[in-house]
Structure 1
Amino acid sequence: MEVKINRFSGPIVTFINGGDQLPWTSPDIVVGCEREVADANKGASDEGKNESIMRLSWALVHSKQPEDVQRGIAMLEASLANTSSPLQQREKLYLLAVGYYRSGEYSRSRELTVQCLEIAPDWRQALSLKKAIKDRITKDGVIGIGITVTTVGLIAGGIIASLVRRK
């Protein structure tokens, strides 16, 4: 019986929670990247500093902690203006899109993903993120419709019940 319930409920839980394939980082990885940035600031070249900051930004936007994601978004937005290389711009736009996706700002995430794809139209990561965003927006719409239909049904049921009681 339990197997049948799990077989039925598994897809529903995945649907509700979201099934994207983006990786998550642990707090240990974030701390390690923060140490790396601190060490790089003590004497590494500008290129070494930038690489360690990019790794920290990646770890932050892939974190399960909302405050880490927000910090990663802020870091990437601040550094985007100083980016001249199209490859670096693509990477930062993608990480920003991941950060906005993780924070639930799907329309902003989609805009940034489109910008990534303008730079590199065949980039698999950006194409996968674009699909995840589309799926999430569709799913949220379906859930919203379900909530609305349920609410309307409850209200109509209450009205009908009160009319039946009066008679």
Structure 2
Amino acid sequence: MDGKFGKFFDSVGNLFTGGDHLPWCDPDVTAGCEREVAEAEKNASDEQRSESIMRLSWALVHSRRPDDVQRGIAMLEASLPRSKIPLKVREELYLLAVGLYRSGDYTRSRQLVERALEIAPDWRQALTLKKAIEDKITKDGMIGIGIAATAVGLLAGGIVAALSTRKK
């Protein structure tokens, strides 16, 4: 029974804190990935360069800086149409979904994570992201309903107050 209450309170807490379990990336890691890509551009094979760019994309979409996330999204959107290997496509779809989730585009993020799950249906990371997206959409919907209900309540209260002053 205590476990059920604990889960309930965790879910309520997550409602207000945003509780996703996606990792964040430090600016130092992002800078290191940028140096790695610059070095790979000079003297690395195409495969090494591609791996460096994927690591940088990962770091960017997991950054706390919105401009880094947008750069990561742009890199992945440019790279995705050229990708032919299913495993790479899956990774890019997932990372792009993370970036869109972090930037607040939950609908598009969900579409992309579902495409990644078509390639790998049991992929835990993608399933976790999909749940985080759905939780965020639900939370935003509940907040919107709460705001609308408050507005209706205030409007009704104002009407009642106006009518009560007219009757006097």
Q: TM-score, normalised by structure 2?
A: 0.90
Amino acid across the alignment from 2:123: W
CA deviations on 1:129-154 (whole Å, 9 max, x unpaired) are: 11111111111110000000001101
| Correspondences of 1:11-160 after superposition (within 5 Å) | 14-160=14-160
Amino acid across the alignment from 1:134: E
Q: Does 1:162 align with 2:162?
A: yes
CA deviations on 1:72-117 (whole Å, 9 max, x unpaired) are: 0100011111111100000000000001111111110011011001
**CA distance in 2: counterparts of 1:90 and 1:156, whole angstroms:** 51
- Other structure's SS at 2:36 match: helix
Residue segments in structure 1 that go unaligned for 5+ positions in a row: 1-8
1:17 is displaced (CA, Å) by: 3.4
**CA distance in 1: counterparts of 2:86 and 2:10, whole angstroms:** 42
**CA distance in 1: counterparts of 2:134 and 2:113, whole angstroms:** 11
Identity %: 67
Q: TM-score, normalised by structure 1?
A: 0.90
CA deviations on 1:29-68 (whole Å, 9 max, x unpaired) are: 1111111111111101111111110000000001111111
Tell me how large the CA RMSD over aligned residues is.
1.6
**CA distance in 2: counterparts of 1:73 and 1:102, whole angstroms:** 10
- Other structure's SS at 1:21 match: coil
**CA distance in 2: counterparts of 1:70 and 1:90, whole angstroms:** 20
Misfit runs of 4+, over 2 Å: 9-14
**CA distance in 1: counterparts of 2:151 and 2:66, whole angstroms:** 30
1:13 is displaced (CA, Å) by: 6.0
Aligned residues: 159
